[in-house]
Amino acid sequence: MWPALIPGKTYLASGFLKPRKGDVIIFRNPKNSDEVLVKRIVDGQDHGYKVDGTVSWASSSNDFGRVPRECVRGKILGLTMFSRFDILCA
């Protein structure tokens, strides 16, 4: 399975929209706040999101637990025309 996001491409993210199941989110790793991850939501509940990578070898909630809502920085909206930044957060 190929990654959903392509290295070198630029994606626009927004912290203003509520993430839902199936959305790709940007978040701080709950076990290492210096690490920022991008994963797809597979389940969302009051106490956080269960996330999974888009490739079989990627880390997931099985490795670091559910992602608390306060760790989420935003959700990916779509492709942009920018070339100098990897991910932009609005």
> How many other CB atoms are found less than 10 A from the CB of residue 77?
15
The predicted-structure confidence for 20-66, as pLDDT tens digits, reads as follows: 999 999 999 999 989 999 999 999 888 899 999 877 788 899 999 99
Do strands 11-14 and 87-89 pair parallel, antiparallel, or not at all (unpaired)? Answer: parallel
Do strands 24-29 and 11-14 pair parallel, antiparallel, or not at all (unpaired)? Answer: unpaired
Please state the pTM of the whole predicted model.
0.78
Q: Which amino acid type is present at position 79?
A: L
CB 67 within 8 A of CB 27: yes
Buried b (16+ CB within 10 A) or exposed e, 48-75: bbbbbbeeeebeebeebebbeeebbbbb
